[in-house]
Structure 1
């Protein structure tokens, strides 16, 4: 078995590999992958799944003959079993997600459904309160349309879309603004309200209810996986966290001397 790591025209001996990885700041990536590898160690694939994964792997790396496959495997010092594990890694990660969180997706979705719901709304934002009130009056009295006034007066990027924004997930908004939209009736123009340093006039155009379809299931599995992974990072030693680029120092509190 080859006892060196070939990188281009350079051969790295085992004692050189870790310093080499450290010099390119790759230790953190190695640690993160080892966390995942430990989690999926007990996940297995069927013979058919392994065969399909190997076929896709060889196509990707242009290993179109048994000779090329063996040469590639020997170059990186992999046994056939290790090659199969490498080829099926992505599938085993997906199986791990499904086995760990698949049974609770419906309850998770229902718990957080509101932040997945989307809304389309019209918006005009103005810094001057008097002008905002005047615009609101023109809309409610039918003197000018919302879209026309948005193009003319709104002081944000929505001016380029006639005031229309969305569809936007409620979970991506600030809680206060999401609450404002959720409590608004579709088609009803809301009177100017202070928001940050501006006054906003809002009209909800349409609510789009989130569905627990295949795309959403994959998204929720990934969210749970990322939460789990962050928890694993929090359990690392201070030295390992340093390699991962995680700040382990407590926030410094600056003392303010009285004048």
Structure 2
């Protein structure tokens, strides 16, 4: 059997490829790409869309002349026809996502909105419950500002920002903190609350409600696509370990 790839003096044949793909954990990625190719096979693009996609891809890869194109083809082991197909792949995939899941976006957005909403909050954390209680009263009585006390006493990274955290999505903080923020009004100060090994003082500064804008739409499309893709890999792909030849 002929050589497929040559690394210096080492030659790899077709029989070498499967064990190597398995050894380096590349088989799942290969399966993913095969499923994507099957899904987008019948996606139709206009000539204008194809020209724009091709120009964008060639620009991103700095394929600005025939010399660079030839070198890229040699290094990647592709033909020019394969390169042309590759340049359209991202466009076809995006069109496939939109055609398949665009009508589900609004419902999925409403379902996911609680995780997408963002908050800005102030946090002081310490492992000493007595200190936490004292700091809480000092903020409550306006003897010191939250920022001043956070810089001096907070034992987390938030000390560098005067206790200010965010904007972050609600699924980022500890679940207990997220729950407290969800039920807070801006400016509401929470008394010391134990979260794991910490005693925290928390104040919601701002609640930013998520909107179904273009970036959010793209993110949700990607989420739906990736969930579908993982399910396809589970259903369709079975990796069978090869036994050594005797």
Partner of 1:29: 29
Q: 2:98 aligns to what?
A: 98
Aligned residues: 238
Structure 1: unaligned runs, 5 residues or longer? 244-259
For 1:139 and 1:66, locate their aligned partners in 2 and report how far apart those are by CA, in whole Å: 67
- Is the aligned partner of 1:145 residue 2:149? no
Range 137-146 or range 162-171, more displaced: 137-146
Shift of 1:85: 2.3
Matches for 1:1-259 after TM superposition, within 5 Å: 5=4, 18=18, 21=21, 25-59=25-59, 60=61, 62=63, 64-65=65-66, 72=73, 76=77, 78=79, 80=81, 82-239=82-239
By how many angstroms is 1:220 displaced? 0.7
Secondary structure of the corresponding residue to residue 190 of structure 1: strand
Deviations 1:113-149 (A, max 9, x none): 1211111111111222222111111111122111111
Query: Structure 2 unaligned runs (5+)?
Result: none
Change (3 A) 1:209 1:61: same
8 Å contact from structure 1 (residues 5, 76) kept in 2: no
1:18, distance to aligned residue in structure 2 (A): 4.6
SS of 1:103's equivalent? helix
Q: Alpha carbons of 1:49 and 1:7: their partners in 2 closer, same or farther (altered >3 Å)?
A: farther
Q: Give distance in 2, aligned partners of 1:66 and 1:219.
A: 37
Conserved 8 A contact 1:115-1:171: yes
After superposition, the CA RMSD in angstroms is: 3.0
Matching residue of 1:253: none
- What is the CA distance between 1:58 and its match in structure 2? 3.9
User: What TM-score do the two structures reach when normalised by structure 1?
Assistant: 0.78
User: What is the TM-score when the length of structure 2 is the normalising length?
Assistant: 0.82
